[in-house]
Chain A
Amino acid sequence: MFCAINPDLDHLQDGQFDFHFSAKDNLTTVGLPTRAGSRILEGYRPAFDAHAVEAMRQAGGLLLGKTNMDEFGFGTFSTNSAFGVPRNPFDLDRSCGGSSGGAACATAVLDGHVALGVSTGGSISCPAAFCGVMGLTPTYGRVSRHGLLDYGNSLDKVGLISRRAADLEMHLRNIAGPDPRDPTSCAQPPMGKSAPVRSIAVPKDALEGVSDEVSRSFQDALDRLRDDLGLKVETVETPSFRFAMPSYYVLGCSEASTNLARYCGLRYGVQSEEITEHFDKYFSRIRSENFGREAKRRILLGTFARMVGFRDRYYMKALQVRELIIQEYQRVFQDHDLLLTPAMPFTAPRFDAIDDMDILEVYKADYLTIPPNISGMPHLSMPCGYAQGMPVGMQFVANHWQEGLLFDIAQRWEEAFRLRAPEVTA
């Protein structure tokens, strides 16, 4: 689950730190490699800590290491890393989920651990659900992205994975706030306390395409939210959510294909000692040799979606669709505090089953996590049951900047629901 361990761990005293944490490998760290799961960044030594890493260190945290991930965040199962595949602690033949798979895994097996994760389209909710831990993705712009290796700049959010609701709140307060090094973090209002959650909206088609076992756990959880927590649970219609997936892949890949243009064998990462090739040839060779398959696929898709002749149909349309989805959420939040769906349509799949999935099946696995992600809504993935020993997750979504509602529900659900730890130890 770790792809780099803090080299100073052995000399450090136990009492010196208040807590231990890890950082997803796409957050820069001084003294530890930062490769975002990609071979093309082999050898890169960042000169600065990412904002979130810096803030956690300042809060008294000990950085244990960097957690493994799908290359640049491109994946749902953490199987797209150049540095091995993390395994699910509840069943080693199954995936941790992705792309913050290592982060969720570390949280599941290390007591008291808190992991910095990053979500673009569901990369915190998904692994948190598969590994039976809590994953918080804050509002877009809540946490500075300074030091984050970009996937999609209008989608990326730095968040937290933990087993304790109180940790999520405490550490989000540590890492949130305006940072001049990331202008998009300067638009946020302060993070306040909120009134208790009273009503929850569930989309009418929330269980369409969801496996039976996940459906059953989710239905049970709904009953308990209603009966034990006394919440009002109502069904709502969200017709534009079906456009979220396609516009997410268009926007994410368009932005990613420009972000990844810089990786070319110059200045950092993989570099030839002597370059004897023409620049086009050299850049193409380095990129072709060192990007993984999924990275290439998304670069191709993104480059295509913004090319002359296709830009209006794909890129520009996707931008407009995002506005529709935001409006849809805001309509729901006029009458309800939170929106709830399962986090993933199935429990952590076996690796052999993943091998058999075609590209669309993989992409479509994220259809529940994408709507809040594309619209920048804060969301929380909480364990809501177990099916044949594997954790099932549900996902609460709040309006922009309303993380307070998520803290409230996290705490109340934590009291009502007994979290299981995997039987494997680190």
Chain B
Amino acid sequence: MRIGLEVHVQLPTRSKLFCSCPTSAQEPNTAVCPTCLGMPGSRPSMNRAAMEMGLMLAKMLGCRIPERTWFSRKTYFYPDLAKHFQITQYDTPVGEHGVYKFQGKDIRIRRVHLEEDPGKIKRVGRAGEESSLIDYNRSGIPLVEIVTEPDISSPAEARQFLSDLLTEIRHVIDLPEDGERSVRADCNISVGHERVEVKNVTGLKNVERALTFEAVRQTKLLRAGKKVERETRRFDEERKVTLAARKKEFEEDYGYIGEPDLGIFNIGDMARALALKETPLQTAERFQRDYGLNPQMSRQLVQTSMDLARLFEHMAEKVPVADVLPWITGTISSLWSELESLDDEMRDAMTGLVASCSRGEMNDQECQMRLRALITGEELTLLQSGAEELEGTIEDYLDRNPAVMEDYRKNEKSANRVIGEVMKASGGKYSSSQVVEAVRKAMESRR
């Protein structure tokens, strides 16, 4: 099975690609101007931030970046396309011939290019003869299109690839969390020889679903000795099936020509001047190399937060890695969401605690409580008395139910029962992370 993706991601600029309209608007047709409405006499002008983001992504994907680039007009007629041509890149994309390392294999990147999004259409009325209601707020939003070679071998892999890719993109260009929802992909898949394209699938889950449906459909056809037709299909999100798109009356001819209103851009120099931040997955790989972390742990670290990963590095400079890791992946990770901000002061305080614990100046319990007080801002004395009380409750329970320990030695999952019981008994007095940690500790010591 060969799968190739054409991924469209909206770039998080404040203004549109070729006009200064804001990119955030609620009411339909409020973030519009003569340019993005295609009014006569208007013309485009290029957003520097969008160009830089495009170049960062091309760099991140290891693409060859040309010295000069320009834009082209792709002409076709559809009600959401204000000028009836889309300004996109044809001959000189910002990046070509890249490679994305993914789970030990290379996914080749054919090209990365910038283009404008068309408006959004709301379909109303009977299927087959729906009318269109158009909102041009989206018209002119900058998009980057990333095209892979057909190097992906399963729908699940496609989803994982996209998820990894987005983690990286999010970090490199500060894409907001919800950027994922606006990811659209055209999915090319061939089980046999003929390729089918499923157009415009939104979101990671749907990409996997659409590809799985297509893989099964094509396999069935081939098993039955039938031919897979080379065609374009669309994905019905509600019914979770792909459907043959309505046959066009004729093949559209985009008739690409250069866009004379924007001029050309010397992006070679621009790209060289841009410093690329290490991406989260690159950081994870480096942690494996430099600190001997296992792949799962290092990925989890960067995916929880890049700040957490940086905190780890900071501590590891001063404290042996083996003494840092349990705290980073344990107490600190579990309380991470409660941390308001990680300034230098906080960072040094946490590092100090972990360091003195490592030197044997305080025991684990003490260190845990102090970290907790530091991160959540709770009173240390309250925590101390609370912790003792909690410990008492757990020890009590374990004394009364010796069978639990026997189960635990066979299967660690039985700790969940203890956690549940203690939570119930204490009536929500302690946070779940606190209980989880105390139970694990108590049970480990009895093992």
Contact = CB atoms under 8 A, between A and B. Distances in A.
B45 to A, nearest CB: 5
B260 interface: yes
A258 interface: yes
B258 A275 contact: no
Contact of A184 (B131, B253, B256, B263): B263
B247 to A, nearest CB: 13
Contacts of B257: 254-255, 258, 306, 315
Contacts of B46: 183
Contacts of B326: none
Interface in A164-197: 180-184, 187
Contacts of A48: 34, 41
Given A146-B41, A182-B43, A266 B261 contact: no
A261 interface: yes
A319 B257 CA distance: 10
Interface string A26-43: 011000001010000100
Nearest to B134: A266
B202 to A, nearest CB: 23
Contact of A268 (B40, B132, B262): B40
A308 interface: yes
Interface string A141-172: 00001111110111000000000000000000
A311 B263 contact: no
A361 interface: no
B260 A41 contact: no
B77 interface: yes
A148 B42 CA distance: 8
Interface in B227-285: 249, 253, 255-263
Interface size class of A (residues with CB under 8 A): 35 or more
Interface in B275-315: none
Contacts of B253: 307-308
Contacts, number: 99
Interface residues of B, number: 34
B40 A262 contact: yes
A366 B139 CA distance: 39
A279 B79 contact: yes
A426 interface: no
A44 interface: yes
A19 interface: no
Contacts of B41: 27-28, 34, 46, 48, 50, 146-149
B73 interface: yes
B77 A283 contact: yes
Q: Which 8 A-B pairs have the closest CB atoms?
A: A261-B84, A154-B260, A306-B255, A153-B260, A147-B41, A28-B41, A149-B40, A262-B38
Given A146-B42, A153-B261, A283-B77, 18 more contacts: A41-B40, A46-B41, A47-B39, A48-B34, A50-B41, A146-B41, A148-B41, A153-B260, A180-B45, A181-B43, A183-B45, A254-B255, A257-B75, A258-B255, A261-B77, A266-B79, A279-B132, A315-B257
Interface of A: 27-28, 34, 36, 41, 44, 46-48, 50, 145-150, 152-154, 180-184, 187, 254-255, 257-258, 261-262, 264, 266-268, 275, 278-280, 283, 303, 306-308, 311, 315, 319
29 contacts: A34-B40, A146-B43, A148-B41, A149-B41, A152-B260, A181-B45, A182-B43, A183-B43, A183-B44, A183-B262, A183-B263, A184-B263, A187-B263, A255-B257, A257-B255, A258-B73, A261-B77, A261-B85, A264-B84, A266-B79, A267-B37, A267-B38, A267-B82, A268-B39, A279-B78, A280-B77, A306-B257, A307-B253, A315-B257
